Amino acid sequence: MEQILNPLQTSLGRLKVNSPVTVASGTFALENLDFIEQDHLGAYVCKTITRYPKKGNPPPRLYETEAGLLNSIGLQNPGLDKFIAEDLPVLRETLTVPLIVSFSGSSLKEFVQMLECLEKQEGISGYEVNVSCPNVENEGIAFGIDPDVVNKLCALLSPLTERELIVKLSPNVTDIAVIAKAAEEGGATAISLINTIWGMAIDYRNGKSRIKKGIGGYSGIGIKPLALALTYRAAQAVKIPVIAMGGIYNWQDALEFFWAGASMIALGTANFIDPLAVDKVYEGLSSFCLEKQLKLKDIVGKVNK
């Protein structure tokens, strides 16, 4: 019988990794690495950066619901220049796994300008292009809900880099398969999904919204069935790899997403609950595959309907 040395090796479009576990943007600080084995991460995805600094939304901007988390952070970040000058050197020094830089722009031109700046920097293995932010060229509608805009954006960015180009898709669309296909045809090397869905919580006693902005992004265990379904639909529509996220708390959850078609999974809200979540998911997946004498890639997309 063939000895399986590392059953969890996987790959994205251009990037081979030793673990199928990563973290959702903005949910895992470098300090969290003190609690886990860094090699259990296939890659590290940093918090989304924008061209200029953002203070974010006023508090309260986090609220724990009955089955998940509402957030309205507002993409608080130091901006591209400060990220390159201060944050990137620390990331390069600290990380032993590939770094994926998540970024977002308010126009097609701004996305291009940001990528061109990042391309000049060392220590970056790939990009997560966050298309969930408003497009000022299109009346404030998010880039990610229009397949033509997603396709055009990817077509502009893909010739500029040989690094991994991941497009992070929004679930707040009519047909995720159409958006995924548009990203692939534009030159994306992988897609990731899902970003948060719309959610709200109200104090029944006085009618006050639990977060300042009213409606926020909902994540956590409550969105798992939706995330699983959208992962399956997207994976059926494209040939490029899929990074799945949404309600994944343990290795059993993760396996469901691999069966549905994901090549890699990301932990988000789980990191707030358990700082050891990455280790537990990795070790659980490894034990399962070794016990069954499976390579993880052999079950990707093999859901038994």
Q: Helix or strand or coil: residue 146?
A: coil
| Catalytic one of 46, 133, 154, 289 | 133
Is 255 annotated to bind a ligand? Reply is no
Is 207 annotated to bind a ligand? Reply is no
Is 194 annotated to bind a ligand? Reply is yes
Is 6 annotated to bind a ligand? Reply is no
Place of tokens 């901006």: 79
* Whole-number Å distance between alpha carbons of 157 and 115: 7
Is 268 annotated to bind a ligand? Reply is yes
Is 74 annotated to bind a ligand? Reply is yes
Q: Are 193 and 244 in contact (CB under 8 A)?
A: yes
- 133 catalytic, yes or no? yes
Interacting residues of 236 by C-beta distance below 8 A, sequence separation 6+:
177, 261
* Burial category of 239 from C-beta neighbours within 10 Å (exposed 0-12, middle 13-18, buried 19 and up): exposed
Is 68 annotated to bind a ligand? Reply is no
Picking from 235, 211, 223, 121, the residue whose alpha carbon sits closest to that of residue 172 is 223
Is 47 annotated to bind a ligand? Reply is yes
Is 286 annotated to bind a ligand? Reply is no
What is the chain's length?
305
Is 208 annotated to bind a ligand? Reply is no
* Whole-number Å distance between alpha carbons of 167 and 150: 9
Is 73 annotated to bind a ligand? Reply is yes
Q: Are 216 and 71 in contact (CB under 8 A)?
A: yes
Binding residues: 25, 47-48, 71-75, 130, 168, 194-196, 220, 246-247, 268-269
Residues recognised as catalytic: 133
Binding residues for substrate: 47, 71-75, 130, 195-196
Binding residues for FMN: 25, 47-48, 130, 168, 194, 220, 246-247, 268-269
